[in-house]
Structure 1
Amino acid sequence: MAAANPLQSLQEEVTCSICLEYYKDPVFTKCAHNFCRSCIAVCPEGSDSGVHCPQCREVCPEGELRPNRQLQSMVELVKQLAVQPGRALEQSLCEKHDEKQKLFCKEDEDLMCVICRESREHRSHTALPIDEAAHEYKGELQACLQSLKEELGDLLESKLKEEEGYKAMMKKLITDKLKMVAEFDGLRQLLKDQEETLLMRLEKMERSIKMAENANEGKYSSKISFISDLIAEMEKKCEQPPLELLKDIRRTLSRCRNATPHLSEGLKKKYKED
């Protein structure tokens, strides 16, 4: 394929990749790509109130589109050189025959001159004038471009729907998490209240037991002291001589019987008979 000459390169530099025409009011995006302002405006919208760059798919907020005045000046210079879209290639010369390439070979998809057309290599091929071939391929390119835009739009729409679905799931998850935390906080408070109630009840029971224990201690202490004194008195009485032992014996036995209620009835009857 013939190498592009400077005129061809210049035309490509000042041609919009969307409309395939010279730039009209060119703007450049934050990703450093150039488009006609009207062309980039109809591209699929992004997620940040902007547009997707057709070349790199980066989201470009509309407020960040800047006019490219230098590129506009280049377009005007090309127009002054009478280089029109679709015609700049006519100025290129055939490398083999040094003739203007005015025809396009559909089989080889390459430019050729009239001498190439009659050569054995291209004689059986379909040759079209450059304008006609450019118009035909431009239609195919625009159809492909429209299909790609629709595909991109569908992808972006699907992506947005899935993102909304994930956001909805995340929102529900956060709500459920907060609800669960609140429920467990309530359960913890309920358990704490029940714990405090039970502890108060147990402390009350503990105080009651200690009071009963103290009362019991006092009750038995006095009785134990009385019985101990009485035992000492009885032991001393038993060691006395007969006359002393029998002296006031009834009152002594009565005190003993009253202090020992568990004494057998038979023994009590014996003492009463005596």
Structure 2
Amino acid sequence: MREETKCSICLQLMTEAVNFDCGHSFCHLCLKNILKKCYFSEMTLKKYCCPQCEAVFQKVSLQQNKQLENLTEAIKGIDLEKCKKHGEELQLFCVDDEQLICWCCEWMSQHRGHVTALVEDICQDYKEKLQKALTKLRDLENKCKNVKLFTRLRMAIWEEKIELRKQKIHSEFEKLHNFLHEEEKSYLWRLEKEKEQTLRKLWDNEANLEKQSHELKNCILELEERCQASAHKLLQDVKDTLIRSSAVNLELPEPISVELHPLCNVSELYFDVKKMLRRYQATVTLDPDTVHNKLVLSKYQDQAAHRSKMEKLKNLKRFRVLRSVLGCKGFTSGRHYFEVDVGEGSRWDIGVCLKNVQRDISMEVEPSTGFWAIRLYKENHYVALTSPQTPLPLREKPLVVGIFLDYEAGLVSFYNMSTGSHIFTFPQNSFTETLKPYFCFFRCSPLFMLPPGE
């Protein structure tokens, strides 16, 4: 059987045996290499010769010999079970060397004195050892798979965190851009107003000087005509003429400064919003004459909360529908800033309103009714009380809200002082009446007025 399955080219057991029409078989690779090296005159006709009997065949007639391959595999299996050195069956197993041996090997010096056992007897023990090793490897494979999945999950989480951080950075810079844009408009508006005021004064001075110049020219013309006239005409009413000319005087206007007020420090605005705002910080206390009967004020009028029972007090200045209260201080000009500690409250309104807003009827809180405020109406849902309301998608819940009023510029802005970021600025208005801080309270949402510097 070994001789029949041996390739006559490589003299080894055939691999992928190929069968010719003449009956001879060879390794597929051996035949392929020989046909590459040899040159046949019949090559142009696609004809080749058998390396053993030189019978002519066509390349397309080559067929795989499956039966011969199966026989080859069987012989290889038999070879594995025989000792290469003695040709005997490997019936023993050397426990010391963990190696298959034959009876002859047992008496050789290499294995003499070693513990040996029959293959059938020892096989089950090693099968259990292999199963144990297999179980360990499978556990390691599962662990590797789990770690791989965990790593992928961490990668996804990390990418999500990076994306959220990008959005936060973009949002913060957008808020800063909005803040700087509003500040730019405010400063440009102030500069334009300063220009108009100074020019108006200079125009008034110019008009006054023009009028005096006209009077001086008339007086000079009259005196020149008298000087050139005859003696009688020159002396006629000369006393009155001299009195009138001596009464003429030049009233110089008060000097108008053309020096600009100090410019805004743009770098300061950019690097420290809180510091800039707190330069205009005002002390705000709550007015007990305006407080709703369902609210109670603290001793120092810096905090208000919801009371369990309504107090029956009659005062036309009190709010009777909105559970609100105003600040004591009113603003009629300039820039003002105050901070409110809203804490973990779930609902509130804060801002500014006209001093004489209606307090005894139900109405919408919006600029048309004299209010400029923002509202938290449920957890993490903020709106600016415009008409219609403007949603405010805040990424971080403000614990302290800053309100900034620029009366002349007509601007009311809100800031999250926990982060120093801009929340919202109402469209520009033209204020002509007194404005006061405005607060609306709800159950479990007390507000605390922060004094300057805290």
TM-score of the pair, normalised by structure 1: 0.54
1:156 aligns with 2:148: no
Alpha carbons 2:89, 2:102 under 8 Å: kept = yes
Q: Hey, what does 2:203 align to over in structure 1?
A: 214
Mapping of 1:86-235 within 5 angstroms?
88=77, 92-234=81-223
CA 1:98–1:81: 2 relative to 1, 3 Å: closer
State the distance in 1 between where 2:90 and 2:190 align: 108
Amino acid in structure 2 at the alignment position of 1:110: Q
Amino acid in structure 1 at the alignment position of 2:239: R
State the distance in 2 between where 1:109 and 1:201 align: 97
- Runs of 5+ consecutive residues of structure 2 not aligned to the other structure: 1-5, 7-65, 252-454
* 1:213-246 alpha-carbon deviations (Å, 9 max, x no partner): 3343232123113213423543564576765443
CA 1:120–1:192: 2 relative to 1, 3 Å: closer
CA 1:119–1:202: 2 relative to 1, 3 Å: closer
Q: Identity across aligned pairs (percent)?
A: 26
State the distance in 2 between where 1:91 and 1:230 align: 142
State the distance in 2 between where 1:82 and 1:89 align: 5
* 1:99-119 alpha-carbon deviations (Å, 9 max, x no partner): 222112222332221122233
Shift of 1:161: 3.0
**Number of residue pairs aligned between Structure 1 and Structure 2:** 185
State the distance in 1 between where 2:80 and 2:224 align: 151
1 or 2, which has the higher helix percentage? 1
Larger CA Rg, structure 1 vs 2: 1
Q: What SS is found at the alignment partner of 1:119?
A: coil
Amino acid in structure 2 at the alignment position of 1:146: T
Q: Hey, what does 1:58 align to over in structure 2?
A: none
Alpha carbons 1:90, 1:130 under 8 Å: kept = no
1:250 aligns with 2:233: no
State the distance in 1 between where 2:250 and 2:204 align: 22
Alpha carbons 1:94, 1:113 under 8 Å: kept = yes
Shift of 1:185: 0.9
State the distance in 1 between where 2:215 and 2:176 align: 58
Amino acid in structure 1 at the alignment position of 2:179: L
Alpha carbons 1:93, 1:101 under 8 Å: kept = yes
CA 1:203–1:121: 2 relative to 1, 3 Å: closer
Amino acid in structure 1 at the alignment position of 2:186: T
CA 1:220–1:261: 2 relative to 1, 3 Å: closer
CA 1:89–1:254: 2 relative to 1, 3 Å: farther
Shift of 1:89: 6.3
Amino acid in structure 2 at the alignment position of 1:204: K
Shift of 1:261: 7.4
CA 1:241–1:109: 2 relative to 1, 3 Å: same
Amino acid in structure 1 at the alignment position of 2:116: A
CA 1:145–1:89: 2 relative to 1, 3 Å: farther
- Runs of 5+ consecutive residues of structure 1 not aligned to the other structure: 1-5, 7-72, 263-274
State the distance in 2 between where 1:241 and 1:165 align: 114
Q: CA RMSD in A?
A: 3.7
TM-score of the pair, normalised by structure 2: 0.35
State the distance in 2 between where 1:91 and 1:213 align: 117
CA 1:146–1:261: 2 relative to 1, 3 Å: closer
